[in-house]
Amino acid sequence: MQFSALFAAASALFTLASAGTVHFINQDSTARTIVFTPNPGCAEIPSINILGLGTADQEFPTSWVGNWYSVSEGATDIPGMLGEVAFESWAGLTYFDVSAIVNPDDYNGVKEIFPLHSNLPRKRKEKPKG
């Protein structure tokens, strides 16, 4: 199954390229660190760095469940909007969403997550106008 997710201010895009892989595309010049947090019993995944306008792929272990958030270069490492995923979960399906539960005021982090080739967001958080 393939997914995509939009993340970051002036946007950095990341894509769930296939079950167990996320493809990150940074769409602005701000370098970011992606911090992964596994659910209990799932493997730890080291943080990855993505240069401004750069890309990175992250492989996930089979049936990995957890989340990730971004930290912009020079910013304090404070969890914000989360990309959440459960690979090969209930009924063998992969589930995903964007969560504002940690910091609903984060407009630099995860914003969208959607099937890779659909470009139709399932959830979206945008900065209010004004």
Per-residue confidence (pLDDT) for residue 81, from 0 to 100: 87
Q: Is residue 127 part of a domain?
A: no
Per-residue confidence (pLDDT) for residue 104, from 0 to 100: 84
Per-residue confidence (pLDDT) for residue 119, from 0 to 100: 60
Q: Is residue 124 part of a domain?
A: no
Per the structure, the complete domain to which residue 102 belongs is given by 4-114
- Residue by residue, pLDDT tens for the chain (130 residues) are 334 444 433 334 445 544 577 877 787 899 999 999 999 999 999 999 999 988 888 889 999 999 999 999 999 999 988 989 999 888 888 888 888 888 888 877 766 766 666 665 554 445 555 5
Question: Distance between CA atoms of 38 and 123, rounded to whole angstroms?
Answer: 21
Number of domains in the chain: 1
Give the residues across from 12 on adjacent strands: 7, 26
Give the residues across from 36 on adjacent strands: 68
Per-residue confidence (pLDDT) for residue 77, from 0 to 100: 94
Question: Per 3-state DSSP, what percentage of the chain is helix, strand, and coil (rounded to 5)?
Answer: 0, 45, 55
Q: Is residue 105 part of a domain?
A: yes
pTM as predicted: 0.77
Per-residue confidence (pLDDT) for residue 10, from 0 to 100: 31
